[in-house]
Amino acid sequence: MNTLTCEQALKICQGALSAARSAQFKPMGVVVLDASGQLMAFVREDGASMFRFDIARGKAWGAVGMGSSSRALAERAKDNPNFFVALAATAEGKFLAQPGAVLIKDASGQILGAAGASGGTGDEDEQICVSGIQAVGLFAG
């Protein structure tokens, strides 16, 4: 069984922030969680608001917990809002079904964790997470 390493998690954050700077996005926060939803790394850029951690973690935690990108969860929430409100309450606020987090997978498709970002649009947040994951030779899902 493959696991995500601390070194990989830090490099994912670095790769994501590098992509954010290249694209000239607003200051970002990036979080990486392992497959059990535990924090492996978090980076908040200078100038990023205090909410960046909570939002990025909520997106990533939902993704890894449900085994799906936060974008897919946001789409599912449109058809079943009561379930997702109840899920967020059950998760004590740690679950956020909004675009901006993707699963981290190995070459065989095994879920190793999730990366989430906050600071830009959902598309921008997702884009930098994918860039960070690809920078370490893993796969975004």
Query: pTM of the predicted model, to two decimals?
Result: 0.95
What structural domains and CATH numbers belong to the chain? 6-140 (3.30.450.150)
pLDDT digit string, tens, across residues 52-95:
999 999 999 999 999 999 999 999 999 999 998 888 888 887 89
Confidence of residue 23 (pLDDT cuts 50, 70, 90): very high
**pLDDT at position 94:** 85
Is 70 exceeded by the pLDDT of residue 1? Answer: no
DSSP annotation string for the chain: -----HHHHHHHHHHHHHHHHHTTPPP-EEEEEETTS-EEEEEE-TT--TTHHHHHHHHHHHHHHHTS-HHHHHHHHHH-HHHHHHHHHHTTT----SSSEEEEE-TT--EEEEEEEESS-HHHHHHHHHHHHHHTT-EE-
| Each residue's pLDDT tens digit, 86-125 | 888 888 878 999 999 999 999 999 999 999 999 999 999 9
